[in-house]
Amino acid sequence: GAVVSQHPSWVICKSGTSVKIECRSLDFQATTMFWYRQFPKQSLMLMATSNEGSKATYEQGVEKDKFLINHASLTLSTLTVTSAHPEDSSFYICSARRGGTEAFFGQGTRLTVV
């Protein structure tokens, strides 16, 4: 199946700093990528939909100035958590859609803000 690579898989940062997470589709072009967040024992919650070459569409309640999404190419989308705080600690997962409706997921990034 298609491969989506997410990097880093695990990051610790100090409160107030920014962290960038990359999501790459390795063997296909993804016109649309999705960013999800998962809190412990909860479902994956969609944060935003990222379309190549245009601004991301954020879900209600997600601060676009805090979670900056860039989809600069058909194989790369980035999520930057700006001025991170401990409450931003979570598991972030991207997915990329290769035509149709099936999406392929990255392995996720565990963010811990201390």
Partner 1 sequence: DQQVKQNSPSLSVQEGRISILNCDYTNSMFDYFLWYKKYPAEGPTFLISISSIKDKNEDGRFTVFLNKSAKHLSLHIVPSQPGDSAVYFCAASNTGNQFYFGTGTSLTVIP
Contacting residues toward partner 1, per CB under 8 A: 1, 4, 6, 10, 34, 36, 41-46, 49, 91, 93, 95, 101-108, 110
Nearer to partner 1 among residue 44 and residue 82 (C-beta): 44
Give bridge partners of residue 111 from the DSSP assignment: 11, 90
Q: How far is the CB of 34 from partner 1 (least distance, A)?
A: 6
Q: How far is the CB of 110 from partner 1 (least distance, A)?
A: 6
Q: How far is the CB of 35 from partner 1 (least distance, A)?
A: 10
Nearer to partner 1 among residue 82 and residue 110 (C-beta): 110
3-state secondary structure of 1: coil
Angle at 80 between CA 27 and CA 102, to 5 degrees: 35
The continuous run of DSSP H or E covering 94 comes out as strand 90-97
Contact 78, 52 (CB under 8 A): no
Contact 9, 111 (CB under 8 A): no
Nearer to partner 1 among residue 82 and residue 108 (C-beta): 108
Nearer to partner 1 among residue 56 and residue 81 (C-beta): 56
